[in-house]
């Protein structure tokens, strides 16, 4: 069965420091992996996705994510955090040949000035 785990409910980081939001997945077949961000009282917005090819994927607002097949991980990273990055982040997976997207429980990121 497909599953996505975001092991941290919350991540705290100081502005200007690098940030990492972790995600691991379990899926049969090749995965399509996504990161979404949700600001308060808003719907989810797409950040980036991995389909195939280069393991390092770059997305919106300076975010990037690294696909690691051996560790079944897809961690979200940013070299220098901004206060405005504070939001709820969701990792999601869909497998090749599948249709449904499975979302993780979400990680709340707090960036302190």
Partner 1 sequence: NAGVTQTPKFQVLKTGQSMTLQCAQDMNHNSMYWYRQDPGMGLRLIYYSASEGTTDKGEVPNGYNVSRLNKREFSLRLESAAPSQTSVYFCASSELPSGEGSYNEQFFGPGTRLTVL
Please identify which residue in 20, 22, 32, 75 interacts with partner 1, judged by CB under 8 A: 32
**Judged by CB under 8 A, does residue 61 bind partner 1?**
no
| The only residue of 17, 46, 55, 62 in contact with partner 1, by rule CB under 8 A | 46
Our CB check for partner 1 shows the closer of 19 and 92 to be 92
* Residue burial 28-57, b: 16+ Cβ < 10 Å; e: rest: eeebbbbbbbeeeeeebeebbbbeeeeeeb
Q: Does 51 help bind partner 1 (rule: CB under 8 A)? A: yes
Residue 53 neighbours by CB under 8 Å, 6+ apart: none
**In angstroms, what is the minimal distance from the CB of 16 to partner 1?**
29
| Nearest residue (CB) to partner 1, 41 versus 113 | 41
């Amino acid at each position: 069965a497909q599953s996505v785990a975001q092991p941290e409910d919350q991540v705290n980081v100081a502005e200007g420091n690098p940030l990492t939001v972790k995600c691991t997945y379990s899926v049969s077949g090749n995965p399509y992996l996504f990161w979404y961000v949700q600001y308060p009282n808003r719907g989810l917005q797409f950040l980036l996705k991995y389909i195939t090819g280069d393991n390092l994927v770059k997305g919106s607002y300076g975010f990037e994510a690294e696909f690691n097949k051996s560790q079944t991980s897809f961690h979200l990273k940013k070299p220098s955090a901004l206060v405005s990055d504070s939001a709820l982040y969701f990792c999601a997976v869909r497998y090749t040949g599948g249709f449904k997207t499975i979302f993780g429980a979400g990680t709340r990121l707090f960036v302190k000035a």
